[in-house]
Amino acid sequence: MRKLIVGNWKMNGSLASLAEIDAIAQAGQDYPKVDVGLALPATLIAPAAAHAGGLIIGAQDVHARPSGAFTGSLSAAMLCEAGARLTIVGHSERRAMQGETDADVQAKAMAGLAAGLHVILCVGETLAEREAGHAESVVASQLELSLPGDADPAKLAIAYEPIWAIGTGKVASVADVAAMHAAIRAKLAELTGPRAAQFRLLYGGSVTADNAPGLLATADVDGALVGGASLTAANFVPIIAAAAL
Ligand code: PGA
């Protein structure tokens, strides 16, 4: 399976960052076996897409509806028109801060897919849920309630992002990631049948150049969703290189 490495810039970056995006796009060309993307703030999508080359430019969220009275929101068609080819849905920061439910996330994923966007659907447990032994059941339930049933594995990837590992420098152990990704694959088999083997499963949460080789060599880890370490080519390109090994 081709590996997919996507940077999530969150609320970072300005027009001055286009040089950094260019540097990432240029370096990405050295790794033709890896799919590389950047989920950018909406203001950077059009200018970045104009000279992205093979780099997949994406958004961090999409509205479920095609148009209407939804102040501040962007539809999938608007994102496509700006040059986005991908969107994240269900990031834990949006689930927590915007109160997005699994049903909301599913509707967003369906809207993105219908418009032709690649979708990265995020799932993951809190520290309390992990400590209580519920990590796998929480993630299984998120999948069951948010994965569009007819999703094409070529267009949708799952990102497992344990919430306690995001932006904390605490990366999940390779053993924990392997166990969770196997559990996700098993749940996908229940939900999608034989298509399950074809979905790319990304790990996210404090991925760096140092831990990427170990994580990306783990069974059922088909890529990474990278926050902080995706903001500069110097930090992000070694992660792309690790995916090419
Ligand atoms: P992080 O963020 O790599 O900075 O932990 C990952 C994410 O939120 O997608």
pLDDT at 171 over 90: no
Catalytic residue among 93, 125, 129, 161: 161
**pLDDT interval class at 244 (50, 70, 90):** very high
Cβ of 170 below 6 Å from ligand 1: no
Could you give the percent of the chain with pLDDT greater than 90? 97
Residue bearing tokens 């940077």:
7
CA 128–ligand 1 middle distance (angstroms): 19
Distance separating alpha carbons of residues 146 and 92, to the nearest angstrom = 13
Distance CA 152, CA 118 (A): 10
Query: For residue 30, what pLDDT is reported?
Result: 97
Mean pLDDT of 11-38: 97
Residue nearest to atom 3 of ligand 1 (CA): 227
pLDDT at 60: 98
Q: Provide the 10 A C-beta neighbour count for residue 87.
A: 26
- Would you say the CB of residue 228 lies under 6 angstroms from ligand 1? yes
SS3 label, residue 212: helix
69-125 pLDDT tens trace: 999 999 999 999 999 999 999 999 999 999 999 999 999 999 999 999 999 999 999
What is the average pLDDT across 172-184? 97
CATH T-level topology, domain 3-243: TIM Barrel (3.20.20)
Q: Decide if pLDDT at 9 tops 90.
A: yes
Cα 207 versus chain centre, distance: 13
pLDDT interval class at 51 (50, 70, 90): confident
Query: Per the residue annotation, which of 20, 63, 91, 125 is the catalytic one?
Result: 91
Mean pLDDT of the 137-147 span: 98
| Residue 93: active-site member | no
Q: Is the CB of 161 under 6 A from ligand 1?
A: yes
pLDDT of residue 19: 97
215 touches ligand 1 (CB under 6 Å) = no
Judged against a pLDDT cut of 90, whether residue 153 lies above it is answered with yes
Nearest residue (CA) to ligand 1, atom 7? 227
Contacts of 190 (CB under 8 A, 6+ apart): none
Report how far residue 203's alpha carbon sits from residue 225's, in angstroms, rounded to the nearest whole number.
Answer: 6
Confidence check: pLDDT of 230 > 90: yes
Can 91 be counted among the known catalytic residues? yes
The pLDDT of residue 217: 97
pLDDT of residue 140: 98
> What are the extents of the domains in the chain?
3-243
Question: Ligand 1 centroid to 9 CA: how many Å?
Answer: 9
- Whether 230 is in the pocket of ligand 1, judged by its Cβ within 6 Å, is no
User: HSE (CB half, 13 Å, CA atoms) of 52?
Assistant: 22
Q: Is 172 in the pocket of ligand 1 (CB under 6 A)?
A: no
Residue 28 confidence (pLDDT): 96
Q: Whose CA is nearest to atom 2 of ligand 1?
A: 227
In this structure, the strands spanning 156-160 and 118-123 are parallel
